[in-house]
Amino acid sequence: MRYLIVSDLHANWEALQAVLEHAEGRYDSVVCCGDVVGYGADPDPVTEWTRENVAAIVRGNHDKACAGLEDLEWFNPSARASALWTQTAADPRNLEYLRRLARGPETLHGFQIIHGSPVDEDEYVLTERDVMNVAPYLDAPLTFFGHTHVQVGFLCHRNGVKALRRETLELEKDVQYLINPGSVGQPRDGDPRAAYVLYDTDCRTVVFRRVRYDVESAQKKILLAGLPDLLARRLSTGS
Ligand code: ZN
């Protein structure tokens, strides 16, 4: 089975379309690690695509916020503004879908998906030290996660944790992997291109991929919607 693994789509239709085109013919099933909406100006097309095409998904903190399940007091001002905007702009049927999304982990064939960490869906796992702290709670040899918008893989061995920055990982036995496909709709690792991962269960490979998309159109829509400028600007730099 060949999986397209996506995360943090953030209502960016242009980025999602570019990913689908780039990955075309290379996957059989789509899996999502959460944050379908928030920040971007296309919550309806992106949520509708998710409803129709994603085989397995866990909710993200922005999905909760936009669906009215989260106290917005803890959100930064631009995240709060975009959650409030999404609550009024999106089709109620799409908000209802987001409200019903399951909290992770979700177990698939030999791997799991989560949004933040295996302990807390809202926890950021960024560094090797972070991975060391959560590794004892991993329930599968391979776990995909999101939330940080940083494309990276970690190998967890009994002797420690190692960040992996190769384009293709050939998965070894007897170790655990924690893999972040990066963000489709709002990358924050200094590379503005949309990020995703292909996972092939037969070849046991994980491939990290990036693709350029029409950033300008996504930015224009954000500004036209009256969302904070910052949300448009950061798409240019991937920060
Ligand atoms: Zn996110």
How remote is the CA of residue 8 from the centroid of ligand 1, in Å?
4
How far is residue 228 CA from its own chain's centroid? 21
Q: Tell me, what amino acid is at 73? A: E
How remote is the CA of residue 159 from the centroid of ligand 1, in Å?
31
Whether CATH 3.60.21.10 fits 2-237: yes
How remote is the CA of residue 21 from the centroid of ligand 1, in Å?
22
Q: Which pTM does this prediction carry? A: 0.96
How remote is the CA of residue 35 from the centroid of ligand 1, in Å?
5
Kindly state the tokens that stand for 15: 């980025």
How remote is the CA of residue 111 from the centroid of ligand 1, in Å?
21
Per-residue pLDDT tens listing for the chain (239 residues): 999 999 999 999 999 999 999 999 999 999 999 999 999 999 999 999 999 999 999 999 999 999 999 888 888 999 999 999 999 999 999 999 999 999 999 999 899 999 999 999 999 999 999 999 999 999 999 999 999 999 999 999 988 999 998 899 999 999 999 999 999 999 999 999 999 999 999 999 999 999 999 999 999 999 999 999 999 999 999 99
Q: Tell me, what amino acid is at 78? A: S
How remote is the CA of residue 174 from the centroid of ligand 1, in Å?
30
Contacts of 59 (CB under 8 A, 6+ apart): 34, 98, 101, 102, 103, 104, 115, 121
Q: What is the spatial distance between Cα 36 and Cα 33, in angstroms, rounded to a whole number?
A: 9
Domain layout of the chain by residue ranges = 2-237
Q: Tell me, what amino acid is at 196? A: Y
How remote is the CA of residue 43 from the centroid of ligand 1, in Å?
14
List, in sequence order, every residue forming a beta bridge with 197; answer none if it has no partner: 5, 208
Contacts of 227 (CB under 8 A, 6+ apart): 39, 41, 78, 81, 82, 85
List, in sequence order, every residue forming a beta bridge with 112; answer none if it has no partner: 107, 143
How remote is the CA of residue 47 from the centroid of ligand 1, in Å?
14
